């Protein structure tokens, strides 16, 4: 698991208050809704210092998918 995957998954755990969530779990299957998506987007922006489009979680709904998206935006940078 990459650093970015770990960080995104940690945010899933924090938002849903559930440490058993796995990397490929779907945001909406976990009980996420549009209000939570806005909150989660802000959490991602704060964590990664990037702008998150409001509709991103409509298209990319797993921690794994979000990590790939973030890696693409950040140019594939990974923390040591």
Reported pTM: 0.89
Please check whether residue 8 is in contact with residue 63, taking contact to mean a CB–CB distance below 8 angstroms: yes
pLDDT tens-digit readout, 2-39: 999 999 999 999 999 999 999 999 999 999 999 999 99
Q: pLDDT category, 54, cuts 50, 70, 90? A: confident
Please check whether residue 1 is in contact with residue 23, taking contact to mean a CB–CB distance below 8 angstroms: yes
Q: Please, what's the b/e burial string for 44-61 (b: 16 or more CB within 10 A of its CB; e: otherwise)? A: beeebeeebeeebbeebb
Which has the closest alpha carbon to 71: 2, 23, 21?
Answer: 2
């Amino acid at each position: 698991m990459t650093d970015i995957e770990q960080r995104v998954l940690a945010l899933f755990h924090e938002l849903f208050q559930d440490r058993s969530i796995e990397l490929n779990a779907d945001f909406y299957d976990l009980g996420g809704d549009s209000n939570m998506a806005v909150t989660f987007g802000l959490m991602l922006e704060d964590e990664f210092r990037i702008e998150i489009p409001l509709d991103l979680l409509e298209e990319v709904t797993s921690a794994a998918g979000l990590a790939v998206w973030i890696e693409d935006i950040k140019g594939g940078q990974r923390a040591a």
